[in-house]
């Protein structure tokens, strides 16, 4: 059993910013990375709206800088995953990872969210065989090929535009006839010859034998079904919070997002939350960074008041 003062679950912008602030308060935080060091931003190709970077930057570049800055002040980043938490009767709160058991006086949960699935036949079986949730990770494999993108939000357009670097054609399949994405991305997509839209349509099946060969879609207005041949299916239909571990221990909303107060404290005193695990609304790198900072300051004050 290892005893810690501050543990931070998650290594995305919220977790690493919380680490930077608690490290500078001399609390020697331990960040437990989760299955993806850097979180979702580390697989984002281009970030154009993070303040201070007028020319944009890649997700990995930004996250590497924040990690370096946090480590400079004494943060330790552990590549491991939390498998169990016991918040009852704490502090200290008890955690287990694959490798070790911990007790901690204060906890910041920044475990983020994960891409939502469509839940249609073929999707699960063909992940890694043409079905993808990350253009930055897999786009390269679609050089000279045809792909479809599912969704009408910022992610769908941003990732779809990224895919035009490789694919010959990118068809965006959206369930309505109006995009949810912001104006800049809409304009960029409209101006790109490789991008086209299939409106009012949902994917009912991903087809393929060993690899993606096409999708069966349905027009939700007319009910007409059709088949499209394609090599890749990139799905960007939103996210769900990674809060499974905390069920029954922390208050959540109906969708599983943790409920935190103005000071970022959850329903258990001493347990704070930051970033997309508690934010279904803003979901920006800048807002996650701000919430990580706030959670860290609150935890520092909470620990000081107890001592
Ligand atoms: P999102 O905004 O929630 O969009 C999800 C899209 O998927 C929507 O168009 C939605 O359709 C569609 N959808 C949801 N469930 C579906 C289903 N079962 N079948 C078919 N389509 C479905 O998610 P996001 O695009 O990942 O963006 C999340 C947040 O990150 C947003 O706040 C966004 O602004 C932000 N973000 C920002 C940037 C940027 O600023 N550059 C880039 C990426 C993400 P409806 O429109 O009909 O609901």
Task: Give span(s): CATH 3.50.50.60, the chain.
Answer: 2-115+239-306, 131-235
Give, for 187, the enclosing helix (H) or strand (E): helix 183-190
| 293 is an active site residue | no
pLDDT at residue 283, as a whole number: 86
- Pick from 238, 241, 287 the residue to mutate for probing ligand 1's pocket: most ligand atoms within 8 Å of its CB: 238
Nearest alpha carbon, ligand 1 atom 15: 237
Q: Catalytic residue among 55, 80, 86, 137, which?
A: 137
pLDDT at residue 281, as a whole number: 87
pLDDT at residue 136, as a whole number: 81
With both helix axes pointing from N to C terminus, report the angle between 183-190 and 154-163 in degrees, rounded to the nearest 10. Answer: 30
* 187 preceded by a cis bond (ω within 30 of 0): no
Give strand ranges (E) for the chain: 2-9, 30-32, 76-78, 82-86, 93-97, 101-109, 113-115, 131-132, 146-150, 169-173, 195-198, 201-208, 212-219, 225-229, 232-235, 239-241, 271-273
Q: What is the mean pLDDT of each successive set of 10 residues along the chain, which is 307 residues long?
A: 97 98 98 94 84 94 97 98 96 97 98 96 94 89 97 95 97 98 97 98 97 98 98 96 98 98 98 97 93 98 95
pLDDT at residue 129, as a whole number: 93
Paired residues of 234 in beta bridges:
132, 149
Q: Yes or no: say if 95 and 104 are a contact pair by the CB < 8 Å rule.
A: yes
Q: Catalytic residue among 55, 80, 86, 134, which?
A: 134
> Is 202 close to ligand 1, i.e. is its CB under 6 Å away?
yes
pLDDT at residue 123, as a whole number: 97
- To the question of domain 131-235 being in CATH 3.50.50.60, the answer is yes
Question: In terms of Cα–Cα distance, which of 3, 19, 9, 5 is closest to 292?
Answer: 19
User: CATH assignment of 2-115+239-306, given 2.30.40.10, 1.10.260.40, 3.50.50.60, 3.40.630.30?
Assistant: 3.50.50.60
pLDDT at residue 44, as a whole number: 77
> Is 149 close to ligand 1, i.e. is its CB under 6 Å away?
no
pLDDT at residue 233, as a whole number: 98
Tokens of 174: 């959206």
Closest-lying ligand 1 atom to the alpha carbon of residue 184: 41
pTM score, whole prediction: 0.84
Distance in Å, CA 275 to ligand 1 centroid: 17
């Amino acid at each position: 059993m290892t005893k810690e003062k501050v543990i931070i679950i998650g290594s995305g912008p919220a977790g690493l910013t919380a680490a930077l602030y608690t490290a500078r308060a001399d609390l020697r935080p331990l960040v437990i990375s989760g299955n993806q060091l850097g979180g979702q931003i580390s697989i984002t190709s281009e970030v154009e709206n993070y303040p201070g970077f007028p020319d944009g930057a890649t997700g990995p570049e930004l996250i590497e800088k924040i990690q370096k800055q946090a480590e400079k002040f004494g943060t330790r980043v552990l590549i491991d995953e939390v498998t169990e938490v016991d918040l009852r009767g704490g502090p200290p709160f008890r955690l287990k990872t694959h490798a070790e058991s911990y007790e901690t006086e204060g906890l910041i949960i920044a475990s983020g969210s994960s891409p939502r699935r469509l839940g249609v036949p073929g999707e699960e079986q063909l992940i890694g065989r043409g079905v993808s949730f990350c253009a930055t990770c897999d786009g390269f494999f679609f050089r000279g090929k045809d792909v479809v993108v599912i969704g009408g939000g910022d992610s769908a357009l941003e990732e779809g535009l990224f895919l035009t670097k490789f694919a010959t054609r990118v068809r965006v399949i959206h369930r309505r006839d109006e995009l949810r994405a912001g104006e800049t991305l809409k304009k960029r997509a409209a101006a790109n010859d490789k991008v086209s839209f299939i409106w009012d349509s949902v994917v009912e099946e991903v087809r393929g034998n060993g690899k993606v060969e096409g999708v069966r879609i349905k027009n939700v207005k007319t009910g007409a079904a059709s088949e499209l041949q394609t090599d890749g299916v990139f799905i960007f239909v939103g996210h769900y919070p990674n809060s499974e571990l905390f069920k029954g221990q922390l208050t959540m909303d109906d969708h599983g997002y943790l409920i935190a107060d103005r000071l970022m404290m959850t329903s258990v005193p001493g347990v704070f939350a930051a970033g997309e695990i508690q934010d279904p609304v803003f979901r920006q790198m800048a807002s996650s960074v701000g919430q990580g900072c706030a959670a860290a300051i609150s935890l520092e004050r909470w620990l000081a008041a107890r001592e």
